[in-house]
Amino acid sequence: MPNIDRIAQALTIPGRNAVAYVDDAGNPDRPLTLQTYRPTGYTPDRPVVIVQHGVLRNGDDYRDFWIPAADKHQVLIVALTFSDADWPGVESYNNGRVFDESGRVRPAGSWTYAIVERVFADLRAAGITTRKRAHLFGHSAGGQFVHRLLSSQPHAAIAHAAAGNPGWYTLPTLDLPYPEGLDGVSLSEDHLLRLLAYPLLLLAGDQDNNANDPNLPSEPAAMRQGSHRFARAHNYFEAGRQEAARRGAPFGWTLQVCPGIGHDGRAMSAICASLWFEGRMPDDAEMARLTGAQAA
């Protein structure tokens, strides 16, 4: 059954669903799953939030993290889920499957990041949404995914994007090789300028400061960015600010410190939803409820 037919069949009724999806245009041999939630009362003119899971490849959990916001704000949740079996290791997911087995750069339209735009186009073609652009959220490994997508892919289908607590970053420079920087993978000055100008929301938990976290990237390129995720978020933001200033280019990023929050995908999902759909951080009582958990 074609992707569009599966999506139309599964998402016309409220509730959770898991939809098999094949990226025929770029990765036909590697299936993925769309973990979805349609709230009661959702209509196709309401926002769509595409969610990128962390290192545990737990798209079902990340979908569920967004259900309270989906019910409150009547938004559709679609969590793209890349299994370890079909998308092994950081090279296939976090780093985008940029290189083929022989080390050659694959066409950018077949990188893992390009699948997001095709999924959203299929949601539109299936009549599930009439929106022209989606919201995109990723936490941890998913935050790596989001900022590298914005570094390398068209932005036309993404209205808002947020990266929460990435383990490390691809820096906004053509002077360092990918994935530490943007050099050597056929990216250009135009890609860099579009990235710097994009209104990227960086969410940084001030308690995500464990330098000994076993899931924290520790290769030399990552360690040069700081000893823990909170420090690396500031380093990335400052690198972007300085690069834009050096070039006299627009700079659209926002760094939002999230007090009391550690490496917690559930809390970051709630904070992002509040910022996007209520225009503010959660109130003190809600922030107190969110603190202290760890949900990668």
pLDDT in tens, 6-34: 999 999 999 999 999 999 999 999 999 99
Q: What sign does the CA torsion over 202, 51, 81, 26 have?
A: negative
pLDDT category at 280 given cuts 50, 70, 90 is very high
pLDDT category at 291 given cuts 50, 70, 90 is confident
pLDDT in tens, 144-168: 999 999 999 999 999 999 999 999 9
Tokens for 101?
Answer: 């087995």
CA 214 to chain centre: 21
State in words which class domain 3-290 has: alpha beta
Q: Could you count the other beta carbons within 10 Å of the beta carbon of residue 150?
A: 23
pTM for the full predicted model: 0.97
The residue among 296 and 267 whose pLDDT is bigger is 267
CB-based burial of residue 128 (10 Å sphere; 0-12 exposed, 13-18 middle, 19+ buried)?
buried
Distances (CA, A) of 274 to 153, 185, 206, 284: 27, 36, 18, 13
Residue 59 in this model has a pLDDT that exceeds 60: yes
Question: Where do the structural domains in the chain lie, given as residue ranges?
Answer: 3-290
The pLDDT, as a whole number, for residue 83 is 98
Q: Count how many residues are written for the chain.
A: 296
Residue 176 contacts residue 151 (beta carbons within 8 Å): no
The pLDDT, as a whole number, for residue 292 is 62
Which of 119, 110, 93, 117 minimizes the C-alpha distance to 185?
110
Residue 295 contacts residue 267 (beta carbons within 8 Å): yes
The pLDDT, as a whole number, for residue 293 is 58
Q: What is the mean pLDDT of the chain?
A: 97
pLDDT in tens, 196-249: 999 999 999 999 999 999 999 999 999 999 999 999 999 999 999 999 999 999
The pLDDT, as a whole number, for residue 167 is 98
Enumerate the H helices of the chain as residue ranges: 3-11, 59-65, 67-73, 89-92, 115-125, 141-152, 189-197, 220-223, 229-247, 265-278, 284-290
State in Å, rounded, how far the first CA of the chain is from the last one.
Answer: 33
Q: Could you count the other beta carbons within 10 Å of the beta carbon of residue 47?
A: 20
Q: Could you count the other beta carbons within 10 Å of the beta carbon of residue 77?
A: 28
**Residues 187, 168: Cα–Cα separation, whole Å:** 19
